[in-house]
Amino acid sequence: MRDTAAVVDEPPPGPPWDAPVDACTFACLDCEMTGTDSARDAILEVAVVRVVGGRVVGAFESLVRTEVSCDPGALALHGIGPDALADAPTFEDVAPRLAEALSGAVVVAHAPDLDVAFLDRAFESAGRPERLRFALDTLTLARRAVHAKTYALSSLAAKLSLGEFRWHRAGQDARATAALLAHLVSVFRPATARDLWDVRVGQAGPPRVRASFDALFSRMAGTGKPITLVLRTPGSDPVTVRGRVDRWARPHLLLALGARGRRGLRIVRADRVLDAREG
């Protein structure tokens, strides 16, 4: 049974969201824009890196010519001036290949709201049906998984040794997002992309419970079989705890610690569990 409390909308059932995570195609996305107002500004550059099983299997990247003037602050970040765009295609020209790069994939971005708003408007203006209704947010996932001072993509890349990138260019940021996603998948060990969708930080209402954890805790409650959990509470690094599921009262897990529970009981909030496995 899935946790529907406080859920407004969900990705559609079936693939790619419910495919085994190693077989799921993720489309790691980034855009550079003339500014931050999706109703007035425009996309200058877009990139998608397609990943399956942690391997890059394809990529698309293009500058985008626009008549919209670039905000000086945005220009200082990405450095994409009029000269660079003189021979670039328009979004209408780019849209078919971009749509193909996104097709059949779970879209992933670092703080995706702005990218999604710009792309939805651009696709609509180009007369195309594509809309990026659902996207995994590596910022949200990182806030749950990683203890860091700041969660900017560049800061996380440095902290986690993800590689060297030229920041604020779409292709490089998309590749950094793909590297961060690979790290997060190794931390959460999700069954599916939907399992990652269930990870929330600071949402309204009761804590969200990952479907795979719900099934595992329900199956193990009261059996006396050992379980190993990786937990992270706010402001701390992840810790590994081993015990037995005494009781599962969603969203709280009553964990009996130590041999035969002799060290007592601990209440664990399921949304703070990064990984759980029998044994």
Confidence (pLDDT) at 97:
98
Instruction: Give percent of the chain with pLDDT exceeding 70.
Output: 95
Among residues 276, 62, 43, which one has the least CA distance to residue 171?
Answer: 62
Strand order in the sheet with 43-52: 55-63, 43-52, 25-33, 106-109, 136-137
Strand ranges (E), the chain: 25-33, 43-52, 55-63, 106-109, 136-137, 226-231, 239-249, 252-257, 265-269, 273-278
**Could you tell me the pTM of the whole model?**
0.93
Average pLDDT of the residues in 188-204: 93
In the chain, residues under CATH classification 3.30.420.10 are 21-197
CATH architecture, range 211-278: Roll (2.30)
Per CATH, the number for 21-197 is 3.30.420.10
pLDDT tens-digit readout, 84-143: 999 999 999 999 999 999 999 999 999 999 999 999 999 999 999 999 989 999 999 999
Average pLDDT of the residues in 165-188: 97
> In the predicted model, what is the mean pLDDT of the chain?
93
Q: How far is the C-alpha of 227 from the C-alpha of 217, rounded, in Å?
A: 9
Confidence (pLDDT) at 262:
60
Confidence (pLDDT) at 264:
86
β-pair type (136-137, 265-269): unpaired
What is the residue-wise DSSP string for 1-45?
A: ----TT----PPSSTTTTSBGGG-EEEEEEEEESSS-TTT--EEE
Residues in the chain: 279
Confidence (pLDDT) at 259:
60
Average pLDDT of the residues in 2-26: 81
In the chain, residues under CATH classification 2.30.30.520 are 211-278
Confidence (pLDDT) at 260:
57
Q: How many CB atoms lie within 10 A of CB 216?
A: 19
Residue 258 pLDDT class (50, 70, 90 cuts): confident
Instruction: Give percent of the chain with pLDDT exceeding 90.
Output: 90
Confidence (pLDDT) at 2:
40
Average pLDDT of the residues in 37-50: 97
Show contacts of 9-13: CB within 8 Å, 24+ apart: 9/133, 9/134, 10/197, 11/106, 11/134, 11/193, 11/194, 11/197
Average pLDDT of the residues in 12-31: 97
In the predicted structure, residue 36 carries a pLDDT above the cut 50: yes
Average pLDDT of the residues in 14-31: 98
Confidence (pLDDT) at 9:
86
Comparing 7-11, 74-78, 231-235, 269-273, the range with the smallest average pLDDT is 7-11
Strand order in the sheet with 252-257: 265-269, 252-257, 239-249, 226-231, 273-278
